[in-house]
Structure formats: C-alpha cells, structure tokens
Structure 1
Amino acid sequence: MKILKDNNNLIIEDVKSFNIMQILECGQCFRFYKIGELDYLIIAHNRVLRVEQKDNQVILYNTSMEDFEKIWSNYLDIHTDYNSIKETLLTKDSNLIESINVKEGIRILKQDTWETLISFIISQNKQITHIKQVIENLSKEYGTIIGEHNGVDYYSFPTPEQLAGTTDEALRNCKTGFRAPYILDTSQKVASGEIDINELKKASTSEAREKLISIKGVGNKIADCVLLYGLGRTEVFPTDVWIKRIVEHMYLKEESKLDKIQEFAATHFGELAGYAQQYLFYYGRENKIGK
C-alpha cells in the first residue's frame, strides 16, 4: 500500500480488502451520502470527507496528510490486515467462503463512541434511511456547521452537552419518537459524568457492556453494537433478528435463544467474532438467508 499526495487530495494505492460501498452500507454507520458509484461523502469526527474508489486506488478529496494520520487511517481501519483476518476465519469455518468472497471489502470502522451510542439508540425499530434522517435532524438542530459540499452545509454530531439541555418534546420534533427520553437520559448522564465515555474505553468488554446496559433504552444488541463499532471490541457478536436467523440457518439448524447464539459465536469465531458477524450479516441480509 502506498499513499500519494495529489494537490489537496490523498491517493491510497494497492489497498487490499477495501470496498467503500460495502464498508458504509453494511449497517455499521449512518452519516454517509452516496454521490456516485463507489463515491461517497462521509461525516465523522467533525470532518466532511469525500471518498472515491477507482480500480486499485482510494481517493480522499481535500484532506491533509495530518488529518489522514490523525483521523482517517484509524477511522477507515486502513492498516489492519484483513486478508489475514479472512484467512484465519476460513481456516475455522468453510461456511464463510461465499460470504467473504462476495463481501470481501468490508472493514469495521473506528467510530466515535458517543455518536455510536446515540445512533444505535435511534436505530431501534427503524430502517437505515429513517435512522440517517433522524441523525441528520439532530445534527442540524443541535450541531454546528463543519463543512460544505456542492453548496450543502454539513453539521457536527451534537455533543452530550448540546443534547442534555434540550427537552423530550424538542427531540420528538426531530422525529426520534419513543427514543426521545432515552436520548435525553443518556445525554444527561454522559454530560454529568455519571456515564464516562473514557472509562468505557478503559474497561473490560464485560464491564463496558454492563455499564452500557445500565443506560435506559440500551439492551444487549445496542450495547454490543457500541462495543464493536464504537469501542473496537472485535470479539463481540451483535445479534439482531437477521443475524439470529442466519446463525440458526447456517449453523445451529434450530431456533435458539440469544445466549446460545452468543456462546456459539464466542466458541466458534473467538476474537474474530465481530468480523465474522459483519460478513454474515451483510451477505445474509442481502440474500435473505433464513427468512
């Protein structure tokens, strides 16, 4: 892999196991906008970034090497060897061959913990297009302008303090629905320090999960999404209706409770369970496996 500078753009050459569409549209994040084929605008870490993929090049428009090194290389998980991860998974499980071959370009983004927490609270019983819209509503109402593209302004994700000072009614006006009190309660707890994001980062996975589940409106699935996408705990296997059906269909051959699926994932995939979940979920959802 080589990184070249071309005027205000950075070009990453020969990056393997990278498909920007698969990365953004696999259900792990919500602040992106499709411009064209393999061409997206990403809003993350108080930045606006256009990413386009052409042949064996990934182009990051109007960004600096400093921002790449401080923000985007980590966010896009550029330096993780996904070829090695896939090879290891395939030695454990030949059932993953088709999933990995079809969705070979998935990477797990390193997202902001706070934004991930609120985003997945919003995600309950909502389709991705609706989740994206609610997050956009909140950002426009409470965030600040961080950049523009083609005359459109883009906003930062609201801070805990910005959301903690609002009301249930105001949040509902942003189309949050029944999630409004959960968002308000979580924001107030984080703003006051009752829930310490930095402590979550330092805690063990089980300790962090326990703390997350103590938050009103956060159950096992949301906690595990935050652990995987917002805290980088790649041993975690978030389980929703789709992944439950996929695991039952492909492995267990019977309807099973959540704890059995979690036990299977931990035993079968080990520290790579989060990666396996991404390949299985995206492939299985698109192909309606187990429906």
Structure 2
Amino acid sequence: MATIETTLFSLDAIAASGQVFTWRRARGGWLVACGRRRCLVSQKGDAERGTVCVRRADGGDPDGDELAFWCHYLALDVDYGKILGELAMPAEVAEVGAGIRVLAQDWWDAAVSFVVSQNSNIVRIQRTMDALLDAGGGCVPEPGQLAALLGDEAFATGLRLGYRRPYLEALAARAQAWHPARIDRWDVSLEESMTELEESPGIGPKVASCICLFGLGYLEAVPRDTWIKRAEREHHVAWDARWGGIQQQFVFAWMREKGRGK
C-alpha cells in the first residue's frame, strides 16, 4: 500500500461530482478503473487535509510507475491551492465543492460514460456503466468488445439505453480505427477537438465538452447542462479562460445543493 498526503482533496466529493462512472465502493474506499488499469483507493482525514492510500486491485503494493499514474489520474500532481486562489470563487461555492478535483480519465471511458449519460440521472447511468464494467472484466469494454456486446440483443436490451444505443454503437464502430487527435498532439485546440468529437452521431456540444474536460485534459472546457445554464442565467457566472472546467465542477455542486434545498 502506498500513501500520499493530500490537501484540498476528497474521494467522496469527486465520486459524487458527476464526472466519473468507473468507480465502485469497495473495501472501505473505491475500486477505480481507468482504461485497462484498476486500483483500490481509500482516504483518511477530510477534504482540507488527509491521506490517500493506493493499492493494486488485487490488494498488492503499486510500483513507482503505477503510483505515478494514479497520482496523475487523481490530479494530485496539480496545484489546486494556486488554481482555486486564482478562481476566487464565492466562499459558499468553494465550501460546497470542497475536495473536488477534475480527474485525468481515459478518453474512451469518458466518451462511453457521457454518451450513456444523455438525458439520464446518476443512478441510471451508474447502473448501465456497472453492467458494462462487469462485461469488460472490471474495465470499460474496448471499442471492438463494446461493438460485439451491443450486437448481443439480450445484453443490449438489458442496458436500457433507449435512443442512446445507436449513438453508442456508432461510437464503438468509429473508435475501432480512430481516436481523438489530442491523444497524439497536445497543440490541438479545444475547438478542434469539439468539432472532431461531434462528428460522431449523438455527440453534441455537452457530451463533447465532457469528453474534452474529463478525458482529454482541456481544463478550460465547460460542459453546460441545466444546472450550469441556470447558474449563468441567475447568478451571471463567467468562466475562467484557463480553469473554467474546474470552476464548473464547483458551480455544478453548488447549484445541485441549492436545488436540493428548495
């Protein structure tokens, strides 16, 4: 087991933030999947200051490369104190979102998750993603495997995808011979990546921006759902040009909390 001292970090806040659907509760923490990798993570302490424990999915100790991978995935190599200081969000927003960080997810995991997520709720999304994780041996099925699974009528019907099914089928077919240009070249602009992603049927600006933020490292990308549009309309939120995606996660948590209070 490897331990990492943390500040401004909360596994539970991240899990509840709506950005990731490849985590499952396990052994006092979370069983996390990213691409073909899996690990067990747990936390002691709180969002202000704590300790994160990382183990391999089989319970063994991660080696140095594995630990570096998971530190990057969990955004523990990003100075959130500096970023949040520059964002200067209202105290209420910062408090509600305490501990949230934007994960560096696998782009394919994010793409599948957010195509599944359209016009759905977190419980239904997680149920569908859990079925896909089970079918993929604990990881999101790769494009060829996903295409085969969706071709199995009984399995596909059980996913209850509705109108999303052909969108996921089209994405799986396309991704067998393609991945976003951002994977190879980090100088690809957000606008270029959005356009490329939106060439897939069923991927519009909201889903494309989610993939860009959560799967391709564009921390300026701002997915705009109902809560975020309401924040813009009612609270005149303006998005930071560099860290708008991080800001969005805090505003999203704040708006949902305000909504629950009504």
The verdict on a shared fold, with TM-score over 0.5 as the criterion, is: yes
In the other structure, the counterpart of 1:161 is 144
In the other structure, the counterpart of 2:32 is 42
Give the whole-Å Cα distance in 2 for the aligned partners of 1:222 and 1:275: 16
The equivalences for 1:65-144 within 5 A come to 65-90=63-88, 94=89, 96-141=90-135, 143=136
| CA displacement at 1:48 relative to structure 2 | 3.2
| CA displacement at 1:287 relative to structure 2 | 2.0
| CA displacement at 1:251 relative to structure 2 | 1.4
Give the whole-Å Cα distance in 2 for the aligned partners of 1:290 and 1:213: 36
- From 19, 23, 45, the counterpart of 2:10: 19
| CA displacement at 1:100 relative to structure 2 | 1.0
- Sequence identity, in percent? 31
| CA displacement at 1:140 relative to structure 2 | 2.5
In the other structure, the counterpart of 1:231 is 216
Asked if the contact 2:34–2:109 (Cα under 8 Å) also holds between the matched residues in 1, the reply is: no
Give the whole-Å Cα distance in 2 for the aligned partners of 1:46 and 1:70: 16
| CA displacement at 1:290 relative to structure 2 | 11
What amino acid does structure 1 have at the position aligned with 2:249?
Answer: Q
Partner deviation per Cα, 1:58-105 (whole Å, 9 max, x = no partner): 112333133534420111011100000010011xxx5x3211133221
Q: Establish whether residue 219 from structure 1 lines up as the match of residue 204 from structure 2.
A: yes
| CA displacement at 1:174 relative to structure 2 | 2.3
- Shift of the 121–223 alpha-carbon distance from structure 1 to 2, 3 Å rule, reads same
In the other structure, the counterpart of 1:274 is 245
Give the whole-Å Cα distance in 2 for the aligned partners of 1:70 and 1:283: 31
Cα RMSD for the two superposed structures? 2.1
TM-score, length of structure 2 as denominator length: 0.87
Asked if the contact 1:113–1:231 (Cα under 8 Å) also holds between the matched residues in 2, the reply is: yes
SS at match of 1:239: coil
What amino acid does structure 2 have at the position aligned with 1:105?
Answer: G
Asked if the contact 2:96–2:253 (Cα under 8 Å) also holds between the matched residues in 1, the reply is: no
What amino acid does structure 2 have at the position aligned with 1:60?
Answer: V
Asked if the contact 1:45–1:71 (Cα under 8 Å) also holds between the matched residues in 2, the reply is: no
Give the whole-Å Cα distance in 2 for the aligned partners of 1:171 and 1:66: 39
Asked if the contact 1:245–1:289 (Cα under 8 Å) also holds between the matched residues in 2, the reply is: no
The structure number with the bigger radius of gyration is 1
What amino acid does structure 2 have at the position aligned with 1:29?
Answer: V
Gaps of 5+ in 1: 1-8, 146-154, 253-263
The equivalences for 1:161-180 within 5 A come to 161-165=144-148, 166-167=150-151, 169=153, 170-180=155-165
Asked if the contact 1:41–1:48 (Cα under 8 Å) also holds between the matched residues in 2, the reply is: yes
Gaps of 5+ in 2: none
